[in-house]
Every structure is written in C-alpha cells, then in structure tokens.
Amino acid sequence: MSFSSLVLLFVGSALINNFILSRFLGICAFLGVSKRLETALGMGAAVTFVMTISGAVSWAIQRYILVPFHLPFLQYVVFILVIATLVQFLEMVIRRYSPSLYEAFGIYLPLITTNCAILGVALLVAGSDYGLLETLVFSVGSAVGWTLAIVLMAGLREELEFADVPLSLQGPALSLLIAAIMSLTFMGFSGLVPAS
C-alpha cells in the first residue's frame, strides 16, 4: 500500500473509471443539477461528503459486523439506511448554515440518498479487499471524479445557453449527447495506468 499505489488508486477512480462517464453511477443528479456552476459545485461537495463517510462506514460495517456474524444478506438494507441517515444529517446542517444553498438544491438534496453513486461506492468497497486508507482514497477519488464530470457539464451547459440548439434536442437530450463526447474523451485516460 505504497504512496504511489494510493495515487494510482485515486487517479483510477477519478479519471479512468469515472463514476459518471464510465461506470454510469449518479446520472440522474448529473442531468438534473448541472445547469449552473455554483449548484454543481455545491452538489459535488455534498456528494463528496456523503460518499466518503458512507464509504468508510459501510466498509467498517461489512468487515466488522456483517462478515463475522454471517449476515451478508443484510448488506443492502444496512448500507442504504446508513446513507439515508447521513443525508438527513447533511440536510439539517445545510439548512441551518446556508439557506440559499438549501433553496438552490431543492428536491435534489434528499435525492442524494437515491444517488446510485453513493450506494455504488459502498457496495464496491464492501466487495473489495481494500483497507481503511484505500477505502478512503477510493471514495474521495470517486467523488472528486464525479464532481469533476458534473462541473464540466455545468460549465458547458452555461456556455450553450447562448447557442442555437434544435428544439427537440434541448434539455436532457443535449446533456446526454454532451456526456457521450465527454465519455469518449475520458476514455483517453485508460492508457494512463498499466493494466489494472
């Protein structure tokens, strides 16, 4: 578990196996919250927070409770409850300290619970043989990659507000086509790390 292997893990989870553009996790929020740059950044920060903590907690629960007590079938129930609790907590904190951000998020804040990316991280670390540090690096890396994709999309969509988009392609259709090109671009990263 050298430093360089951790860096590779980070780069791998952020760029090469980007959660949105490569693993298809967290697309609904990606399409829904990527209209403005500040909202996208805020959502990225919120998701990073939830993903990191729920990733670590899920890893701990899997290793120290579910496996020793032979309860692997409770995995999905337990993980989603952990995530729901964290999101509830986050909602209370944001509402208290930044009402404007709370308004901006709207329905998308409680919807972080149903963000596939977060449950995805929990399941991925639970099914791996990572230690705690690797789990944290993987979770943060995945979240950073997710945030990167959503921020890129927000920037592009803000620019495209002045473009002449055909009527039928406006909205989600255009976002999906942009995502296709972004995904194609990110595929170029796959040569960055020797076959893992």
Residues found near other proteins in the complex (CB under 8 A):
21-28, 31-32, 73-77, 80-81, 84, 111, 113-116, 119-120, 123-124, 167-177, 179-181, 183-184, 187
What HEC string does the chain produce?
Answer: CCHHHHHHHHHHHHHHCCCCCCCCCCHHHHHHCCCCHHHHHHHHHHHHHHHHHHHHHHHHHHHHHHCCCCCHHHHHHHHHHHHHHHHHHHHHHHHHHCHHHHHHHHHHCHHHHHCHHHHHHHHHHHCCCCCHHHHHHHHHHHHHHHHHHHHHHHHHHHHHCCCCCCHHHCCHHHHHHHHHHHHHHHHHHHHCCCCC
Task: Give min distance, CB of 168 to other proteins, in A.
Answer: 4
Task: Give min distance, CB of 118 to other proteins, in A.
Answer: 8
Task: Give min distance, CB of 134 to other proteins, in A.
Answer: 18
**Cβ closest to other proteins, residue 24 vs residue 102:** 24
**Cβ closest to other proteins, residue 6 vs residue 189:** 189
Task: Give min distance, CB of 136 to other proteins, in A.
Answer: 20
Task: Give min distance, CB of 31 to other proteins, in A.
Answer: 7
**Cβ closest to other proteins, residue 11 vs residue 80:** 80
Residue that has been written with the tokens 């099914």 in this structure: 127
**Cβ closest to other proteins, residue 148 vs residue 179:** 179
**Cβ closest to other proteins, residue 133 vs residue 181:** 181
